[in-house]
Chain A
Amino acid sequence: MGALTDLTIAKAAAGLAAGDFTAVELTEAHLRAMEAARGLNAFITETPDIARERAKASDARRAAGQAKGPMDGIPVAIKDLFCTEGVLTTAGSHILDGFKPTYESTVSANLRDAGAVMLGKTNLDEYAMGSGNVTSYYGPVISPWKATDGKDRVPGGSSGGSAAAVAARLALGATGTDTGGSIRQPGSYCGIAGLKPTYGRCSRWGIIAYASSLDQAGPMARTVEDVAIMLKAMAGHDPKDSTSAPIAVPDFRAALTGDIRGLRIGIPTEYRVDGMPAEIEALWQRGMGWLKAAGAEPVEVSLPHTQYALATYYIIAPAEASSNLARYDGVRYGLRVPGDSLDAMYEATRGAGFGAETRRRILMGTYVLSAGYYDAYYRKAQQVRALIAGDFRQAFTKVDALLMPTAPSAAFAIGENTEDPIAMYLNDVFTVPVSLAGLPGMSVPSGLSAEGLPLGLQIVGKPFDEETVLRVAGVLETAAGVTAKPAFGGEG
């Protein structure tokens, strides 16, 4: 038997059920791995006491014949954007210093109630705004993957800590959130599977809001099967969230039949962008080939408004964020920098508390909503968004799923892309349109770049059709057969 940290959720569940090891042993192995991997800075807060307590409780349940399901006893990491009761929650920001919620987010509570063991809170781009996990107040996360040039790589963002933790085998799974690509893109950079569900599939209650009409919680794990298992535990209607869809949660794992014969897979013409690296194009071709070999039919489709998606996103998301982040004012929680007057206190607190990218987006958002500009920017963007969603709806009358790259490149080096904010934004070119349309999208490890860094392919499905997405993803995963592991990680 190899290291416990090399298991998958599915294998660990089987091992626990068979009595090969206990939940406590499984958790201890991961806690040790976390300790050894502190250099990656994947965690902001480690919660070993809670982890041990929950692992113990899991073993007790199992002994009493009351094990809850596949997630019972499984060690997972929780992105520090989810409010966790009694545990420091920072959103990667200085402005939430010392904030310990007196409540638990619905999604992390669902996992807890399914028996999952919380190892700690993972690092992230501040307020989920970023594609590299380089904007966190707690410092950047370093990817466990090493490139041939020896420079440290970003894990992607904003769920960089979660991606790194899973890739480095510090956790069997992790929660992420995805607003413009923040699960899928780090999933791609770190060679793991990450799924952004349909908007409304998972509850947003208790998740620190960035852009309300786009944010979605989702699972990140090393295999498609694991993602399916986690999603089942995370998802479900929540009456405390008015945007939570009142629909049943299917057995996602059962969708992994491996059979995609007859499925029509859309290949969007417009995703073949100018200057796309040859190896990404090649990967995409290979992906089409694998799906074809499995009996699916690639079909060219057009999503004519694709090129406007980034601009649309970078108007809508900052606008919503500028309003969502108004509550961080030093009055009721977090950092307070004193001031002579109320306004002085607000300005000093928020000036000191927010990082540069967060400040940029709040100011952008404030500007595009301000008097005289609302119609030109915000309203216009919402119109283009409707057109983008319309493109997908049209395409889905002809196909069952879409295939495209997840990111336009492999992970970039830490320190790159920091001159121009827009250069950073371009990393989301393939993920953002899917978010704007609220569709389910998943990144699957599909290959390695010339420098030995992971590359992912993205599958997109119809609203609430995560099952088809997972099924196609499973086939891709098998066909791609990526076995490479990051240089760093696990108990070794």
Chain B
Amino acid sequence: MTEETIQSVVCTVCGCCCDHLEVKTKDNAIVNVKNACAMSTSKMLGYMNERLTQPKIRRGDKLSNSTYNQAVDSAARILAKSKSPLLYGWSLTSCEAIEVGVDLAEETGGFIDNTTTTCHGPTVLGVQEIGESSCTLGEIRHRADLIFYWGANPVHSHPLHMSRYSVLSKGRFRKSRSERTLIVVDVRKTDTAKLADVFVQIEPNRDYELLSAIRAAVRGDEIEQDEVAGVPVERIEEIAEKMINCEFGALFFGLGLTMSAGKSVNIDAALSLVRELNSKTKFVIMPMRGHFNVNGANNVMTWLTGYPYAIDFTQGYPRYNPGETSAVDLLAREECDSALVVASDPISNFPLQAAQNLASIPLMTIDPHETPTTLCSDIVFPSTHVGIEDTGTVYRMDGVVLETRKLVDPPKGIKSDVEILRAILKRLRTIRRLG
């Protein structure tokens, strides 16, 4: 009987990457978690559910057990033959694995994309036009007296965000809740909105208009309409007043803004508003990244290729243009002839046409769990959980890097994403060399 208590464990669920978890293990299993939110506890205690235990290769219409080496060889052969392979996922694995993934994409002459493409892609595109006034989360904890959540519902999506980093946290210069004002903008009164000092209910898909009006009010320009996006202009002017008069404002935003009609145009407006506010006071903006290492995927891909997602290696050098080189668009136009999915479930969350096309081409998946994507795959590799069965670095939503810990050993025979990807890359290079 071996029991261990491990401190300062980094959670691997959402972009908060809380690192104050205390995990108790017994006989190589996690038995207790302290300081974690419900999502995190659920993952920590349920990481063995629906595990894949064996590599599989599809024979006919059945996925049959295979050896690891056979699966590696088959995967490498598919990639070697492909004219336009897609390597997708990456946000739920470690930076070390993503680095190998980029090299694999370059070696195959394919496309590599991560989940940014379906969530904060618009944010990246907006930043590339306007820039981003931002900071690390601690700056907000210490200094912010005005906090917005726009199209984000952290009570459910990032449960410890408010208590660790924003309105419910204790900072050097803001010691209590009463020293901060919380404004929530959303299409309905979410649980986060219920905690707000000011709740702004916005008409769906009218975020750009409201941001434009707020910016006009901040500038002191007259707004001719009586109401914008369902919000009376007097209210808009009040909000603008609060923004100008704060000492340090922070605007967090989520998919409610990035996926609202207009997408990157909305983020452009938000980034421009925050930029403008810096001529009057201190203001920052930060996207609420959903997955624990999507920011890591962006960072690794950027330092290796110059671009944060949707990269095309088909011509031997990195090309980038979301809309052309992004996974959903490539699949919608049926331009890929094979796909390797790592730690992601696109069959479940891609638009129908893209998902259908993905299922129709040779599909290989690396994942700890069975998912609809693994069920549609032609080759499946079971893998370990980063931050539970394996270490690896991850990037928090604000760019702070943490090294996750290995808490328990993985089930016998299960390898890490890094190992599997390295093996496929090595086999592919050998196949190429032998012609």
- Interaction A to B: no
Residues of A participating in the B interface, judged by any CB pair closer than 8 Å? none
Residues of B participating in the A interface, judged by any CB pair closer than 8 Å? none
